[in-house]
Amino acid sequence: MNKFDIHAQQQELPGSDEQLKPHAEFIHESYLGSHKLQGKVALITGGDSGIGRSVALHFAKEGATVAITCLDTEVELKDAEWVKAWIEGTGGNCKIYPVDLRSSEACKKLIQDVLFDFKKINILVNNAGTQFPNEDLATLSDEQWLDTFAINIHAIFYLTKAVLPQLSSGDTIINTASVNAYVGPKALVDYSATKGAIISFTRALSNQVVNRGIRVNAVAPGPVWTPLQPATWGQVDPQSMEKFGSDTPIERCGQPSELGPAYVFLASQDASFISGQTIHPNGGMMVGG
Ligand code: NAD
């Protein structure tokens, strides 16, 4: 087994994970929950696949009730059903909310729907996101710019604004940023700008609400083996997936299973003195901040 597929699971998975060869690992078999999120309700956007799926499985293992969103497509619904079945199979509770989060109305309705179903939200994980490589700003269309911002940062604003009034002391918000906020790859100008915005949004919002006992943090993953990568880089250069992540100091990409525990940490009481921060599961890449 080489460094690249060190944690990969080989069983067949439905939905977008079919694109991932080898398949990704979402939670270590040895992961033991210890009730860190017992009684909490967590809403995880993009919880159907990739990093969000790992967060959903880990949160459920820690006792949280999990609400996940996905896009209303056959593939993503299949992904989401897999997550729901896994969580229910371990005795947990999961509900799927198919929604396109690019409008304020959709985000408000999502929060209302989850509150109607579960009466509260304790943890909001703003994780849904996308990227469209483009190496020349002159050809980066206004539509792409607006679309990247709509899902990657505007949705975070809409969801956070809608959920904040009912959050109380001990509740948390966790935003998925990216190492690319710091690296700034030349083919991801719009994406990197949104991820930088997420980090600054996290800091400023923390300063605004931490005196209410609400902590706001971010996770800035390095390259992680998720459907987003073949769906974007695989289109540009299919060979590039062979060495995806090999330029990190750890010389491989991460598995989603290596991300979920970071979100558990930030969501739990273990991180009660941490707010406005970004943590960096990125294979050893040095970043400032
Ligand atoms: P993924 O493709 O598995 O997940 C992306 C999710 O975003 C999907 O579940 C999809 O439902 C959701 N989404 C996309 N557009 C949406 C829209 N318009 N409305 C609602 N939901 C939408 O990929 P992933 O890599 O797990 O990505 C999750 C997050 O992690 C993203 O914010 C991404 O930028 C970030 N990230 C990923 C990597 C990586 O290497 N995979 C690295 C750094 C940051």
Range 35-279: architecture per CATH? 3-Layer(aba) Sandwich (3.40)
Q: Residue ranges of the alpha helices (H) in the chain?
A: 50-61, 74-89, 104-118, 142-149, 155-163, 180-183, 189-209, 228-236, 260-267
Q: Token digits for 130?
A: 């996308």
Ligand 1: residue of 25, 51, 54, 183 to mutate (most ligand atoms within 8 A of CB) is 51
* Atom number of ligand 1 nearest to Cα 131: 34
- Position 19 scores a pLDDT of 67
Mean per-residue pLDDT over the chain, rounded: 93
- The DSSP code for 224 is B
Q: Which residues are catalytic?
A: 191
* Atom number of ligand 1 nearest to Cα 70: 11
Residue 263 pLDDT grade (very low, low, confident, very high; cuts 50, 70, 90) = very high
Q: Token digits for 113?
A: 């729907």
What letter represents residue 273's amino acid?
F
DSSP-derived 3-state class of residue 129: coil
Residue 18 pLDDT grade (very low, low, confident, very high; cuts 50, 70, 90) = low
Q: Does position 260 have pLDDT exceeding 70, yes or no? A: yes
Residue 229 pLDDT grade (very low, low, confident, very high; cuts 50, 70, 90) = confident
**Element of type H or E holding 125:** strand 123-126
Q: What is the per-residue pLDDT across 116-168, written as a single tens digit (0 to 9) for each?
A: 999 999 999 999 999 999 999 999 999 999 999 999 999 999 999 999 999 99
- Position 2 scores a pLDDT of 30
How many A from CA of 228 to the centre of ligand 1? 6
More confident residue, 18 or 122: 122
- Position 129 scores a pLDDT of 97
Ligand 1: residue of 175, 228, 243 to mutate (most ligand atoms within 8 A of CB) is 228
Residue 246 CB less than 6 A away from ligand 1: no
Q: Can you name the residues that pair with 174 across neighbouring β-strands?
A: 125, 217
Q: Are 227 and 19 in contact (CB under 8 A)?
A: yes
- The DSSP code for 151 is I
Comparing C-alpha atoms, which of 166, 177, 76 is closest to residue 123? 166
How many A from CA of 55 to the centre of ligand 1? 12
- Position 20 scores a pLDDT of 78
Residue 6 pLDDT grade (very low, low, confident, very high; cuts 50, 70, 90) = very low
CA-closest residue to ligand 1 atom 3: 50
Spatial strand order of the sheet with 172-176 comes to: 94-98, 65-70, 41-44, 123-126, 172-176, 215-219, 278-279
Q: Does position 5 have pLDDT exceeding 80, yes or no? A: no
Instruction: Please tell me the distance from the alpha carbon of residue 84 to that of residue 287, in angstroms, as a whole number.
Output: 35
Residue 11 pLDDT grade (very low, low, confident, very high; cuts 50, 70, 90) = very low
Residue 101 CB less than 6 A away from ligand 1: yes
Averaged pLDDT, 70-86: 96
DSSP 39-51: T-EEEETTTTSHH
pLDDT above 70 covers a percentage of the chain that reads: 93
- Position 231 scores a pLDDT of 81
Residue ranges of the domains in the chain?
35-279
Please count the other Cβ atoms lying within 10 Å of the Cβ belonging to residue 142: 7
Question: How many helices and strands, by DSSP H and E, does the chain display?
Answer: 9, 7
Q: What is the per-residue pLDDT across 170-217, written as a single tens digit (0 to 9) for each?
A: 999 999 999 999 999 999 999 999 999 999 999 999 999 999 999 999
Q: Does position 43 have pLDDT exceeding 90, yes or no? A: yes
Beta strands in 139-241 (DSSP E): 172-176, 215-219
Pairing of strands 172-176, 123-126: parallel
